[in-house]
C-alpha cells in the first residue's frame, strides 16, 4: 500500500521548500506492506551502514572546506589586491 505519510512521494520538502527529506516512515520506498504501515519501514543494516559512512564522509568534506577557506583567507591577507576575488572564491566553494 502507498505510504500515508508521503503519499508515495518517497520524499517530502521541508516547510521552507529548501530541501527534500527522505520520508521517515517508508524510508524512501513510497510503499509499505501492512506490517510496515503499522510499525514503519525498517532500515536494513546495509542502509544503516551506508548512511553512517555518508555522514562521516560529509564531515570530512566539511573539515576540508574549512581548511581550504582558512588558507585562502591567509593568502588574501597577504595579497590585498586579490582580496575581492579570493572572497568570492571562498563563498563559492562547494563539494558535490
Which of these ranges, 5-13, 53-61, 64-72, 80-88, lies near Zn ion under the rule CB under 5 A?
A: 5-13
Which of these ranges, 6-14, 39-47, 48-56, 73-81, lies near Zn ion under the rule CB under 5 A?
A: 6-14
Q: How far is it, in rounded angstroms, from Cα 92 to Cα 2?
A: 40
Question: At its nearest, how many Å lie between Zn ion and the CB of residue 71?
Answer: 43
Contact yes or no for 21/11 (Cβ under 8 A): yes
26 lines the binding site for Zn ion (CB under 5 A): yes
3 lines the binding site for Zn ion (CB under 5 A): yes
Contact yes or no for 28/11 (Cβ under 8 A): yes
Q: How far is it, in rounded angstroms, from Cα 15 to Cα 39?
A: 25
Positions that interact with Zn ion (CB under 5 A): 3, 5-6, 23, 25-26
Amino acid at each position: 500500500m502507498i505510504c500515508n505519510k508521503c503519499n508515495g512521494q518517497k520524499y517530502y520538502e521541508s516547510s521552507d521548500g529548501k530541501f527534500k527529506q527522505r520520508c521517515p516512515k517508508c524510508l524512501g520506498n513510497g510503499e509499505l506492506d501492512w506490517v510496515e504501515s503499522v510499525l514503519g519501514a525498517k532500515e536494513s543494516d546495509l542502509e544503516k551502514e551506508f548512511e553512517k559512512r555518508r555522514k562521516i564522509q560529509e564531515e570530512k568534506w566539511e573539515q576540508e572546506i574549512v581548511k581550504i577557506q582558512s588558507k585562502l583567507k591567509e593568502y588574501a591577507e597577504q595579497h590585498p589586491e586579490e582580496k575581492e576575488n579570493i572572497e568570492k572564491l571562498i563563498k563559492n566553494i562547494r563539494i558535490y
